[in-house]
Amino acid sequence: MDCGIFLPFMLGIPLLWPCLKATEKYKTEKVKQPAGYHLRVKRGWVWNQFFVPEEMNTTRHLIGRLRSDLDNGNNSFQYRLLGAGAGSIFDIDDSTGDIYANQRLDREEQSLYILRAQVIDSTTGRAVEPESEFVIRVSDINDNEPKFLDEPYEAMVPEMSPEGTFVTQVTASDADDPASGNNARLLYSLLQGQPYFSVEPTTGIIRISSKMDRELQDEYWLIIQAKDMIGQHGALSGTASVLIKLSDINDNKPIFKDSFYRLTVSESAPTGTTIGKITAYDNDIGENAEMDYFIEDDDSLTFDIITNNETQEGIVILKKEVDFEQQSHYNIRAKVRNHHVEENLRNYHMEASSTFIRVQVEDLDEPPVFLFPYYAFKVFEGNPNGSFIGIVSAIDPDQKKSPIRYSITKGKVFSVYDDGTIINTGELDREISAWYNLSVTATERDNVQQISSVPVYVQVLNINDHAPEFLQYYETYVCENAEYGQVNEGPHFVLLCL
């Protein structure tokens, strides 16, 4: 019978007595001998299987006995112990063959010792037996707790993963003898991390046991315990910490922070002007939080939205110039949706978040506006001073409708009244000047900085105010005897009369 089978039930006993007798015999050899000699039929060592429990807390304890089958007990034999550990860790009673351990043994440091034994006849000094080798085994006790060699552990798993999803595996080791009962048989359990995680008792595999939302909590600390002796009474344990982080999935839509925005734009703003920002938030992170803004409802096509990819804001810009006097405000609707959408979440994200934007156009104090780009009047020459020439008219395009004051910046012989009536203040003579080019300025009385000008062309018309005049003095002659119908042409005709 092998005593190793019963070893787990005998730990802690100071001395393990023989459970298997092993005898080293030397068979008779046929050797040529001189006449009269007789062969020895049997001789050999007799010893027990030697087992000693580790961590025996006595300084000297009996392990077993070595003896030769030739020893008849008359104290004529002397036993000697040889090999590594002989005389220090182990010694032997030279008369009885009893072997002792002199110190506490640790199986995890050395599990067996190979020694040699020798027996001497004390009377002759000769070896009775040939030197023989034997083994002392250190039997295991549960004196080592499980240890996690790779801690701290860290793992990552996508949020909202289904129950049963593999997360990671932890492994502990036990320095005790795996062949010695259950000393090194481990059982894993979860001390911290319920109800979101579980651990398989025999493998140390950690799995998800409940769905988790990263936006509520993005990491979890678990404490895993490993017990030897499969968790039985007296088992030793060790623990490891496991940090589990949840990676993000695109399970949140962007949502506007405000359902209504008020923005303003000056009516003098050029196209491309930024008039404001709108902002949506997304609880996801990384590319899952990237979003696109767009205008869904703007019949006037006056505005546009571009996305700032760094800040994830919507930049509202002016697409066409605006005029307060034509339209003082605009109501538009903007939407936002994720830029990256997983296929399984596409239908969910189709319903984009929306917000309303009211854009108020700011009224500027604009200069007066003439009703026509230029004016052309006609007047007859010779009209007396103060004669009516024509009327120019300008208006304030702003809501306040400031009164207008007119002045002539060109034209010394004309003047203009507050109502825009132009008169002449000097004589008009077509033969001196047939056209006058004037410049009439309109100025707001409430803001003299607001002015505008318009060209005025005045044509002077002709009247019959001059008699015909010969260009030179004419002198002629006639002969006294000139005939009827005769034409006298020039001074040379005088000679004809002589």
- Return the pLDDT at 343: 60
Q: Return the bridge partners of 240, or none.
A: 224
- Return the pLDDT at 94: 86
Residues 118, 50, single domain; the answer is: yes
Residues 235, 336, single domain; the answer is: no
Q: Does 169 fall in a domain?
A: yes
Q: Is residue 294 classed as helix, strand or coil in its secondary structure?
A: strand
- Return the pLDDT at 26: 33
The alpha carbons of the chain give a radius of gyration, in whole angstroms, of 62
Residues 380, 355, single domain; the answer is: no
Domain boundary, last residue among 327, 362, 397: 362
The residue segments making up the domain with residue 424 are 369-461
Residues 10, 134, single domain; the answer is: yes
**Inter-residue long-range contacts of 93-98, CB under 8 Å, 24+ positions, other chains counted:** 96/65, 96/67, 97/65, 97/66, 97/67, 97/71, 98/62, 98/64, 98/65
Cα-flanking dihedrals φ and ψ of residue 211, to 5°?
-65, 145
Determine contact, residues 415/449, Cβ cutoff 8 Å: no
Domain boundary, last residue among 113, 139, 165: 139
Residues 408, 386, single domain; the answer is: yes
Residues 34, 90, single domain; the answer is: yes
Q: Into how many domains does the chain fold?
A: 4
Q: CATH no. for residue 160?
A: 2.60.40.60
Opening angle at CA 469, ends 468 and 470, nearest 5: 130
Name the strand (E) or helix (H) holding 350: helix 346-350
Determine contact, residues 332/297, Cβ cutoff 8 Å: yes
Q: Does 487 fall in a domain?
A: no
Q: Does 443 fall in a domain?
A: yes
Tokens of 345: 């979440």
Residues 42, 114, single domain; the answer is: yes
Q: Return the bridge partners of 406, or none.
A: 442
- Return the pLDDT at 40: 40
Tokens of 494: 């005088």
Residues 220, 259, single domain; the answer is: no
- Residue 14's region, left for phi above 0, alpha for psi from -120 to 50, else beta, is alpha
Determine contact, residues 56/43, Cβ cutoff 8 Å: no
Q: Does 468 fall in a domain?
A: no
Residues 188, 271, single domain; the answer is: no
- Return the pLDDT at 8: 33
Q: Is residue 5 classed as helix, strand or coil in its secondary structure?
A: helix
CA 151 to chain centre: 27
Name which of 154, 167, 256 is nearest 210 in CA terms. 167
DSSP 311: T
Residues 135, 163, single domain; the answer is: no
Amino acid at 66: L
CA distance 431 to 429: 5
- Return the pLDDT at 107: 84
Q: Does 32 fall in a domain?
A: yes
Q: Does 479 fall in a domain?
A: no
Q: Does 450 fall in a domain?
A: yes
Residues 306, 374, single domain; the answer is: no
Tokens of 235: 């088992």
Residues 209, 313, single domain; the answer is: no
What Å distances lie between residue 43 and 28, 67, 95, 129, 135, CA to CA? 9, 11, 19, 8, 21
Q: Return the bridge partners of 79, or none.
A: 119
Q: What is the pLDDT along the chain (498 residues), one digit of tens a residue?
A: 333 333 333 333 333 333 333 333 333 333 333 333 333 434 466 665 688 887 776 678 888 888 887 877 777 888 889 989 888 889 898 888 888 988 888 888 888 899 888 888 888 888 887 888 889 888 878 888 899 988 889 999 999 999 999 999 999 998 887 877 788 889 999 999 999 999 999 999 999 999 999 999 999 999 999 999 888 888 899 999 999 999 999 888 999 999 999 999 998 899 999 999 999 999 999 999 999 999 987 778 899 999 999 999 999 999 999 988 889 999 999 999 998 876 655 555 556 889 999 999 998 878 899 999 999 999 998 889 999 999 999 998 877 788 999 999 876 889 999 899 999 998 888 888 899 999 999 998 888 888 999 999 999 998 877 778 777 887 777 777 777 777 666 555 555 555
Q: Does 498 fall in a domain?
A: no
What does pTM read for this prediction?
A: 0.59
- Return the pLDDT at 318: 95
Domain boundary, last residue among 120, 139, 158: 139
